[in-house]
Amino acid sequence: MLIQLQDISKNYQIGTVSVTALKSIHMTIERNEYVAIMGPSGSGKSTLMNILGCLDTPSGGSYLLNNTNVSDMNDDQLAEIRNREIGFVFQTFNLLPRANALHNVELPLIYNGTPASKRRSQAMEALEKVGLGDRVHHKPSELSGGQRQRVAIARALVNNPSIILADEPTGNLDSKTGDEIMEIFETLHEAGNTIILVTHEEYIAEHSDRIVRLRDGLIERDEATNGHV
């Protein structure tokens, strides 16, 4: 089992008001699963994604990632886990504008101290996996939206993470480009990657094997998708 959440809750203090974002979440995700997390605005899906991605810690409960309890880790320990275990893909790409595609993909490897020669070959390999082997020296401004998202996916892959966590990865793309990006996720999943996708688009979620639906901080439904039952 790759992920095990037990009785996860999350409360935020906003001034004098306490807001409960998640209450008693129980969920397991196996290695090589493809899971979509859905829910209306305010349902807790962003909070759940931040906890799964080790960007935030729960107020209560335990989170086991690869048999490591990450619930009580400090910021430095969480950063190390993120760098080793999780590849992020965001709606806004989050690329460095002055750096070319190759350097953008190398960034996680710079942070974890991978030697320069190895960094370059790993980044090249990741860019080739997403079909951008011929665009390595292009800066984000010289790439289309779909190509920028491919660079972001390559960056997420470069560490061989346990999980690829994608937050609305097609949100800034037209539907044709969005379909192309979803095909890349499909290929990565077939190659053995575990993918967790946060989306509010039903047709995007249908690409997954399983949809976890949140409402008011609780799991409302957890079901296999029609195409993958």
All structural domains of the chain, each given as residue ranges with its CATH number in brackets, are 3-228 (3.40.50.300)
Q: Enumerate residues 6+ apart whose C-beta is below 8 A from 128.
A: none
CA atoms within 13 A on the CB side of 5: 24
Residues 111-136 pLDDT 10s = 888 999 899 999 999 999 999 999 99
CA distances 169 to 14, 38, 105, 141, 153, Å, are 29, 13, 17, 19, 9
Q: Report CA 110 to chain centroid distance, whole Å.
A: 20
**pLDDT of 228 strictly over 80:** no
Residues 97-106 pLDDT 10s = 999 999 999 9
Backbone angles phi, psi at 163, to 5 degrees: -135, 140
The DSSP 8-state label assigned to residue 227 in this structure reads: G
How many CB atoms neighbour CB 186 within 10 A? 14
Residues 8-32 pLDDT 10s = 999 999 899 999 999 999 999 999 9
Residue 227 banded pLDDT, cuts 50, 70, 90: low
pTM above 0.85, yes or no: yes
d(CA 7, CA 202): 27
